[in-house]
Amino acid sequence: MLVPPSRMQQATLALGNVEDRFNRRLKYPYVLFMVEGEYDQVTEVQKERIEHITEGRAKFAAVPRSQWDVPASLDKSLVDASMRNIGFSHGYRAMCRFYSGFFWKQPALRSYDWLWRLDTDIEFHCDIPYDPIERIIQNNALYGFIQVNYDAEWVQHSLASNVSAFMASVKQGPSKTLDYESKPSLKFPDDANHGFVWHGSGGVTKAMRGEAGNEEWTKRCMYNNFEISHRSVWENELYTRLFEFWTALGASFMNAGVTPLYTLLDSP
């Protein structure tokens, strides 16, 4: 759980809800992330409440500033212009970048294979009598999400075309138009569900050629609040290369929302 000091009260309520609904039985540990330097703002009373609610199974960890602030390579004025044009705060964009490129790399999570994302505003409305992680394992899956939404292209105006360019670089070799080199050994899985992301066989073909845009993109998104994932989803070479590609474009802080990127990454 990513917890700004200003949302400690919400985090306490959310953790209490998770405990009441299922985790007092399963006793999974919690890791609460704060941006480097923010932990000092948490009071002893707040720490004691978290300790009491989670029965001592929660610990705090710091997110390095380098993984949160606007990258030095990116023109901050462009970020400011993007925030004026489409909205979404610095904190929201930083959160999206953290979850899409860094959260599983945190030292506090190294000992865990399965990762369950929680947010400070979540609430389960009924008891969960089973172990959701065990259910995913039983179904031979590596990623679980709660629903499919549709994103607005005005928020992600260049996402589809950029991902299509990456797909072409994987299929054909390094792109001639982008300052990025794709390893020749990379390939998409044989059972890749491209049809979830691109409209029809024509859309998939254009995506593979680097010619797809918003007209070919289905806009479908795997809503990632509550997501459960095996760390291999994020550590695989294809995901790593796409995030590097995304970062080189400056898009990891310019686009608002991480859900569409997750979908485009995980479905192929």
Least confident of 101-115, 123-137, 189-203: 189-203
Q: Please classify residue 10 by burial: count the beta carbons closer than 10 Å to its beta carbon, then call 0-12 exposed, 13-18 middle and 19+ buried.
A: middle
Number of domains in the chain: 2
Distance CA 255, CA 268 (A): 20
pLDDT band at 2 (very low <50, low <70, confident <90, very high): very high
**Domain shared by 261 and 143, yes or no:** yes
Residue 19 lies in a domain: yes
pLDDT band at 109 (very low <50, low <70, confident <90, very high): very high
Spatial contact of 166 and 245, defined as CB atoms under 8 Å apart: yes
**Domain shared by 244 and 149, yes or no:** yes
**Domain shared by 72 and 164, yes or no:** no
Q: Which domain CATH number covers 116?
A: 3.90.550.10
Q: What would the pLDDT profile of 16-61 be if each residue is shown by its tens digit?
A: 999 999 999 999 999 999 999 999 999 999 999 999 999 999 999 9
Q: Is residue 181 over pLDDT 70?
A: no
**Domain shared by 142 and 252, yes or no:** yes
pLDDT band at 177 (very low <50, low <70, confident <90, very high): very low
pLDDT at 149 (0 to 100): 83
**Domain shared by 184 and 143, yes or no:** yes
Strands 228-230, 143-144: parallel, antiparallel or unpaired by DSSP? antiparallel
Q: What is the pTM of this model?
A: 0.86
**Domain shared by 83 and 144, yes or no:** no
Taking the alpha carbons of 57, 33, 268, 170 in that order, is the dihedral positive or negative? Answer: negative
**Domain shared by 46 and 81, yes or no:** yes
pLDDT band at 257 (very low <50, low <70, confident <90, very high): low
**Domain shared by 71 and 117, yes or no:** yes
Full residue range of the structural domain in which residue 104 is found: 5-122+132-137
**Domain shared by 107 and 23, yes or no:** yes
| Residue finishing a domain among 81, 103, 137 | 137
Q: What would the pLDDT profile of 214-232 be if each residue is shown by its tens digit?
A: 899 898 888 778 899 999 9
Half-sphere exposure in the Cβ direction for 220 (13 Å, CA): 18
Residue 127 lies in a domain: no
| Residue finishing a domain among 105, 137, 169 | 137
